[in-house]
Amino acid sequence: MQREYKNHGFFSFSLESRNRELSSMKFGETEINTRCVVLKVLRREISMERGGKSVFLLGIIADDTAKLRFVSREEREELVKDTVVQIENVSVKRWKGLPILYIGKETKIRVIEESIDPERYAELIKPKKRSIGEIIRCGGAFDVSVEGNIVSITEGGDKNSRTLILDDGTGAVALVLREEREEAIETRIYFGIPVKVRGNVVNVEEGYVLIAEKIEAVVEADIIDGLNSFLSRYT
């Protein structure tokens, strides 16, 4: 079942809908239809080798299941922040290790609603909780929330060579902290600890890496339950 956007502002399941949820889209797929909210749009110009300029759009779309970056190689007046749009005949490509929705010349776009209320926008802008296994099947994910346990810590010669492996029972990814200011948090991370991480999961030559924008250990009251759950998967 796929989800379809209705006029009252919520997504609901529909057997007849040909629309795809953003969380189900995989790198390499083509001829996809989806209904979503435009969260952000940036207009860019690039100079051509033979003179002149080319305009393209970069942005972020969302539904109840995921957020996804998009690129359009031409201007589209329908792609306006806060609008609900129906997008048909798009493909999923890869950019900087992340799946990205590619809007081509054959793509059709129509506006369903010209705006959404602030509360709805606030919900859609939040990272979506997803499993590592699901993310890997899709070829990566943009701005997600992942919960799991640290199952491996490899210490190198310096801080930058420290390798953490995060496992949630459905899969595992390497964990990298983006900001140096997170160093104090990193020193408190140890084997088996349950953590909640927000960031992007990118596909690189070495495998999948979760680049963390934010990481937090669960509260101490939950650590014992988390460790028991973790250990039960390996004993």
Kindly indicate the confidence band of residue 227, based on its pLDDT and cuts at 50, 70 and 90: low
Domain boundaries, the chain: 2-124, 128-232
For residues 90-97, give the mean pLDDT: 93
Fold of 2-124: OB fold (Dihydrolipoamide Acetyltransferase, E2P) (2.40.50)
**Is the model's pLDDT at 90 over the cut of 90?**
yes
**Is the model's pLDDT at 148 over the cut of 90?**
yes
For residues 109-132, give the mean pLDDT: 92
**Is the model's pLDDT at 3 over the cut of 60?**
no
Is there a shared CATH topology between the 2-124 domain and the 128-232 domain? Answer: yes
For residues 45-67, give the mean pLDDT: 85
227 versus 164: the higher-pLDDT residue is 164
The predicted-structure confidence for 4-50, as pLDDT tens digits, reads as follows 444 444 444 343 458 899 999 999 999 999 999 999 999 988 777 77
pTM for this entry: 0.79
CATH 2.60.40.680 is the classification of domain 128-232 = no
Q: Which amino acid is at 71?
A: V
Contact status, residue 14 vs residue 96, Cβ threshold 8 Å: no
**Is the model's pLDDT at 55 over the cut of 90?**
no
**Is the model's pLDDT at 52 over the cut of 50?**
yes
Contact status, residue 17 vs residue 80, Cβ threshold 8 Å: no
**Is the model's pLDDT at 181 over the cut of 80?**
no
For residues 215-224, give the mean pLDDT: 64
